[in-house]
Structures are given as structure tokens and as C-alpha cells.
Amino acid sequence: MNGVLIKIIIVLVLLLVLAGIIYMAYRSIKKKISEFSTQMFGTSDIMEGIRQQEMQESMTPKSVAGATRLYLPMIVKDFPDFHYDEMKNRAENVLISFLRSIDAMNPELLTEGTNELRDSLNMRIGMLQNQEQQETFQDIKIHRTELFRYRKTKGRCSVIFQSALESIHFVEKDGKIVSGRNDRREQSRYNVEVIYIQDPDLIENTEDAGLAMNCPNCGAPLPSLGAKKCKYCGSPIVEFNIRTWNFASVEES
């Protein structure tokens, strides 16, 4: 009997020692978490720190690639009639109308764009309809827009604007939110591509967004992308420049 009692006491002592070790480990881990939270978030409560961090991120606009000073002189050299402020405003209007079209499930709200952009919009709306989902964009606000990239390739020339955008963005299905939040603002970045076509009549499909580098009258090569007349036959080509910039894509970055 005494042997059994001794074994029970030993087991209890071991359990107490183990409990003490676990408690000390818990206290040590909790202290380290508290110190980490204080260092990272300024509060000892890590959950509160994470909540504050999420709130801060929802209120802080995304940074954009400010390459305007780099690319704008190149663009103006190729296209003397390129009006940066006007094109930037058009890019922002296209972006906002693209998102509002998704919100309203109505592609007709898109202000302008190539067939390529409209097909992309229709595809996105169609996908939401097939999945019986509603994607919402509310209180859309653009903080800043800058040139992101300027590309000249064979048969194509494009300027990409990058915008820092703020909105309330979420996706619903059967009345339940499946992504995003309706009680907190979201910060995001979008790239809007505008392409140049020298002569739309020479392009079979505007989705291809080709760039004709020849005179539309005699076929001679043009001296520059933004040339106003052919140096061989003298044909004016400035009228083509007025209607040749068009928007080809809107993508979240």
C-alpha cells in the first residue's frame, strides 16, 4: 500500500513539475510575443497590433512607379502632340468606368477602349454571372497616377499609366461576402495601357493594336512616330494622330 502511495506522490510531483515547466514556457513565449508586438506595432497586444496594422494599410495609398520624368521626354520626342495631362485624365476615367462597369454588370459604362479591352470586361462580367457572384466597387478614389512604362515593339507602341486607387471592394455570393470587406477601404494599384495606331484603316483588327510605320498614302517609311506629314509625298498624317490613341487593357498590379 505504501508503495502505491509513493508512486502516486511521485506521479503528482512529476505532473506539478511538468505543469511548472509548461507555465514558465508559456510565460516566456507570451513575454516574447508581447515584446515583439510592442516593437512592431507599438502595443503589447499582438491582435490589437495586427488590427491597427490592417487599418493603417487600408488608409495608406499604394506607391506607384514614378517613371514620368524618364518616359515622358521619350514619348514627346516620338509624339510631339502627346498631351500628358489629357491622356492621364483619360486613363483615370477609363479605369474608373471599367470598375463601375463591373460593379453594375454593365459593359456599356466603359467610356472608351479597344475591342480587346471590351472583350476582357465582358469576360470578367460573364465569369461573375456564371459563378452567381456580385463584385462591388464603392467610393472609388484615385490618389495618384504616373507613367509606368513606354514600349516600342514591332507593330505595337504602348504607354502604361499606373494609378494608386482606393475603394470599398468585395465579392458577394448568396448574400455572403466571399472576399474583401464592406466595412473597410482597400488600397490597390492598377495599370492602364494606351496604344497607338498610325492609321486605323490599315489595321484589320483593332484588338491587335498594330502600329503602322508607313505613310498611309504612298507607303514610304515615316521619319518619326509622331510625324505630321510624309517627307516623300507631303501627305498630311496629323489627322490620324488625333484618333489613334486607344486603351487596350486594365489590370490590377
Residue range 27-48: average pLDDT?
69
68 or 244, which is more confident? Answer: 68
How many whole angstroms separate alpha carbon 49 and alpha carbon 245?
47
Three-state DSSP class for residue 186:
strand
Rounded CA-CA distance 198/81 in Å is 13
Task: Report how many helices (DSSP H) and strands (DSSP E) the chain contains, helices first.
Answer: 6, 5
Report pLDDT digits (tens) over 91-138: 999 999 999 999 999 999 999 998 899 999 999 999 999 999 999 999
Q: Are 210 and 174 in contact (CB under 8 A)?
A: no
Distance CA 160, CA 191 (A): 6
C-alpha torsion sign, points 64, 65, 67, 72: negative
Label residue 2 by pLDDT band (50, 70, 90): low
Q: Is pTM beyond 0.75 here?
A: no
Packed helices 84-104 and 68-78: angle between N→C axes, nearest 10 degrees: 110
Q: What is the pLDDT of residues 180-220, one digit of tens each?
A: 999 889 999 999 999 986 545 444 444 443 344 556 666 66
Choose among 221, 74, 65: nearest CA to 157.
74
Residue 194 and residue 248 in contact, taking contact as beta carbons nearer than 8 Å:
yes
Tens-place pLDDT, residues 140-194: 999 999 999 999 876 678 999 999 999 999 999 998 999 999 988 999 999 999 9
Task: For residue range 13-36, list pLDDT tens digits in order.
Answer: 778 878 888 888 878 877 777 776
3-class secondary structure, 189:
strand
